[in-house]
Homo-oligomer: A and B are copies of this chain.
Amino acid sequence: MKEAKTVTIEDVANAAGVSKSTVSQFLNKRYEYMSKSTREKIEKVVEELQFQPNHFARNLKSRKTKMVGIIVANIRHVFSTEIIRIVEQSLQEQGIHVIICNADDNPEKEVAYINLLAARNVDGLIIFPTGANYSEYSRLIDNKIPVVFIDRKIEGILADTVMLDNEAASFLAVSTLVKSNRDRIAMLTLPLTNNLSPRLERIEGYKKALSFFKIDYREELVSACPLINIKEELTRLFESDIKPNGIIAGNDLILKEALSFLKEQKISIPDEVAIIGIDDVSYADIYHPALTTIAQPTKEMGLKAAEIILERIKENTQKVPVVYRFSPELKIRESC
């Protein structure tokens, strides 16, 4: 690999008594005009010499890297890592490699990664967008680089997108809380900067569900703030006269903050307040009480993302992009 002088296509050609071109045809499985005997001869030599084509030489001409890049807004969400695992496995089976980059919710890092992966000629890109780089996203689309977005839809960008039916998720959450007789339901999400679609939609779904169940919407019960301020917000809510008896945590990180708050304040679940989280968490089953959550079908979503990117890479179709909305799954446990 390094010292071991590499075996090249030329060595194979010499050993098999044919030309480089023929070997190349063989390597690319274009057997059309090749006699069975030469084909077998080359096959044998390749095996014997343990020849492995050089990816770089190959790419230089063919422009295919057999790599796709994944840029994830924040790798700390279990949702992200689960999807990544599925995609990675699924592409791996097709001989395609995955490069993972973590933008840490930082749009600048995201741009840097987009450029870097583009410069590395990845065959396609799977992005969990931060949402803040409209022009970069559209540049990718314009340049016909296969892209699929996950989790978030970007306003004005026409690209394949795999995401949760967020309104349905909120509706499920509200209805579950309503069934356990909660009528003052707080909704906690992260800030709505960049118009991040899931957050907006989850709030929208919450409102619609309330109206469906004929519960008055109260603005004070909705809070969109950074993670570090969640506890303050909860303090405010629990000290006010509309003390919530139900909480919807907009994602896994918020759920953790809320649980931490409830633990500190010794507020009992579900007696004093019921809680339900959007996004499943690893400790849901073992928590006291076990946590009712609304899970995203990560497996199906990951598989779909892999399928789309493969299709876009193979046939450079001009198919019109579609947004795939996956239904949430309610996992009833004990917290609600």
Contact = CB atoms under 8 A, between A and B. Distances in A.
A224 interface: no
A60 B56 contact: yes
Nearest to A258: B286
Given A57-B60, A81-B75, A143-B3, A282 B285 contact: no
Interface string A41-72: 00000000000101111011000010000000
A1 B145 contact: yes
A27 to B, nearest CB: 13
A228 interface: no
A310 to B, nearest CB: 17
A236 interface: no
Given A56-B121, A119-B52, A2 B286 contact: no
Contact of A55 (B2, B119, B281): B119
A331 interface: no
Interface residues of A, number: 42
A100 interface: yes
How many copies of this chain? 2
Interface string A251-278: 0000010011001000000000000000
A120 B52 CA distance: 10
A120 B55 contact: yes
Contacts of A282: 256, 282-283
A85 to B, nearest CB: 6
A256 B89 CA distance: 25
Contacts of A75: 81, 85
A288 interface: yes
A98 B97 contact: no
Given A4-B143, A56-B60, A97 B120 contact: yes
From A55, A102, A286, residue with most partner B Cβ within 10 Å: A286
26 contacts: A1-B121, A1-B143, A1-B145, A2-B143, A2-B145, A52-B119, A54-B121, A55-B56, A56-B56, A56-B60, A57-B60, A60-B60, A75-B81, A81-B81, A88-B100, A89-B102, A99-B99, A99-B100, A100-B100, A256-B282, A256-B283, A260-B285, A260-B286, A263-B286, A281-B283, A282-B282
